[in-house]
A and B are shown apart, each in its own frame.
Chain A
């Protein structure tokens, strides 16, 4: 910083050594230290949860856990194979519903409805939907699908999860599309590319990494949801891969086991929680790997 001394000539304050320099070094190190501390504080809970789950659940993890269905009370052993498959199926149905609708709505908000009344209404609805408690979502789907059908089903559970994914995906898609520079859209239009084609092949493609992050956030969030499944997928002690029947899910199974009075079941609940987290981490990492494989040198 340049300042004037008493004679009115310019001097460079950075050249003055001593106390000034010490002060700058001290504040620099303080700021760096605070940043590192904050990072540790963010990571610590995740690491703590993971270690605790390993400690409590790892001992109950064996081949049977992944291959067998739950055993009746009193019988040792048994596993959560049906719940793992059930969770996979529910999330597949949820994603098949939530991802396309969410992305399409995001495209509408960012590209076609921008600033219009319809877009504002859609955006408001998405924000409200995001704030709806998951148990309420469960009751709503129960009333709309389970009651008319007169039975619980995997498909109703998947729909409940899918609806919960929509607002997160819609809003992140919108944000990511709006971050694509205007110049990129102009380049496509200037080449004589129709607008719809430009939106799908250029703008959406440019925003894809962010859009995928939004989808994974939504996926990870609903993967652990229990409440919306209570009245929809309901849970099932036996094998089922039918969309039209009640189906087991990891969070439901964990819930049932964790509130039971049996120690054996408690251990299985811990193991289930560990598997649930691992499945989420693995699927997010997998999607990230697959979608970033083709990225070129220097691509932004």
Chain B
């Protein structure tokens, strides 16, 4: 089951560049939360702070707290543990190029020392089914490289890989921006189905996409969270002039 995340006074820097300023945001469980805003507004940095990927950049720094149920992910657990419980799908599909489809999905478990073949088989099948890729690849699981799939299939493979370690939250950083409309529709359908099991945070440049998949939407601008509300409210009756300007295409 998904869990909610409570973000309090989150600040992030790259070197001296203050990328996020005092973000406060409750992410409800088992819903999709969309983050929109122009390029460079900090929304990608924000999701990378949620699973401590931000700190893999040597000049990056974070303050504030991110609580997931009753643990503070910056104080109580290691980054490795955080990333196991909060999975991530990146903007560009990034399957491991030397691994088969099967090995890609199994990689998260295997690299953490899990070896039971029967359970791995089950997890791979379930994850690929959850990612709506099973039917397309079930005959080539161990024959084809993950890199030989089409872009849309690769992205669903990456989603399956993230699901295989059974996270509670799934972060998606513009998961469909490198894909064609058909693949994008498949990913969106997928987000709809995954909501019942996972909490989803999706960064997107595509406002129709946010409107289609997310219950709640946050609008970022220049490192600040301008507005956070139900998607319906944000797109029909935004409370802030800047949000209105952005969603009506007046800038950004």
Contacts and interface: CB of A to CB of B under 8 A. Distances in A.
A297 B148 contact: yes
Contact of A193 (B87, B88, B95, B108): B108
A190 interface: yes
Given A298-B147, A298-B148, A188 B90 contact: no
Interface in A44-88: none
Interface stretch (B31-39, B157-165, B225-233): B157-165
Interface in A196-224: 197-198, 201-202, 205-206, 208
Interface in B176-220: none
Nearest to B100: A296
Interface string A218-256: 000000000000000000000000000000000000000
A191 B83 contact: yes
A190 B51 contact: yes
Contact of B90 (A187, A197, A205, A208): A187
Given A183-B94, A299-B148, A189 B107 contact: no
B94 A193 contact: no
A190 B162 contact: yes
Contacts of B111: 188, 191, 193, 197-198, 201-202
A187 to B, nearest CB: 4
Nearest to B161: A191
B165 A298 contact: no
A191 B87 contact: yes
A186 interface: yes
Given A296-B143, A296-B144, A298-B144, A192 B98 contact: no
Interface of B is mostly: mixed
Interface residues of B, number: 34
Contacts of A184: 94, 96-97
A261 interface: no
Interface of A is mostly: helix
Nearest to B81: A192
A298 B154 CA distance: 13
Q: How large is the interface on A (under 10, 10 to 19, 20 to 34, 35 or more residues)?
A: 20 to 34
Interface string B137-177: 00000011101110000000010011001000000000000
Contact of A299 (B81, B108, B145, B162): B145
B53 A192 contact: no
Report which residue of B51, B88, B95, B96 has the largest number of chain A beta carbons within 10 angstroms of its beta carbon: B96
B94 A181 contact: yes
Contacts of A187: 90, 94-96, 158, 161
Contacts of B94: 181, 183-184, 186-187
16 contacts: A186-B56, A186-B94, A188-B96, A191-B83, A191-B84, A191-B161, A202-B111, A208-B98, A296-B98, A296-B100, A297-B143, A297-B144, A299-B97, A299-B98, A299-B145, A300-B147
Interface of B: 51, 53, 56, 80-85, 87-88, 90, 92, 94-100, 107-108, 111-112, 143-145, 147-149, 158, 161-162, 165
Interface of A: 181, 183-184, 186-194, 197-198, 201-202, 205-206, 208, 295-300
